[in-house]
């Protein structure tokens, strides 16, 4: 499922005004009180939870891949510095 599909699903589930109060830069905090969802349809909510877990898993895999690439890049930089006597 692509990101656009997730945001479309989230839009149907949550009030954007509530979401606006939850986001602080790259940190998301729980809303104050217990604001109602826009729908209580159990199947829709389960689909949303599945989409969130799918995105979370993809993000975790990407983080591992990015760390491996960073480690390889550092190794290449060190090799080039040693090979060509660079600072």
Specify whether the backbone of 74 is left (phi greater than 0), alpha (psi in -120 to 50) or beta: alpha
- Calculate the CA dihedral of residues 54, 49, 13, 6 and round it to 10 degrees: 0
Considering the entire predicted model, what is its pTM? 0.69
Phi, then psi, of 13 in degrees rounded to 5: -100, -35
Quick: pLDDT tens for 7-37: 678 889 999 999 899 999 989 999 999 999 9
Quick: pLDDT tens for 58-84: 999 999 999 999 999 999 999 999 999
Domain boundaries, the chain: 3-84
Band (6; pLDDT cuts 50, 70, 90): low
């Amino acid at each position: 499922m692509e990101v656009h599909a997730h945001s479309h699903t989230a839009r149907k589930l949550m009030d954007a005004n509530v979401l606006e109060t939850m986001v602080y830069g790259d940190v998301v905090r729980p809303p104050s009180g217990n604001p109602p969802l826009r729908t209580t349809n159990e199947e829709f909510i389960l689909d949303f939870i599945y989409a969130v877990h799918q995105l979370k898993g993809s993000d975790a895999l990407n983080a591992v891949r990015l760390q491996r690439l960073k480690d390889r890049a550092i190794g290449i930089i060190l090799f080039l510095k040693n090979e060509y006597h660079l600072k």
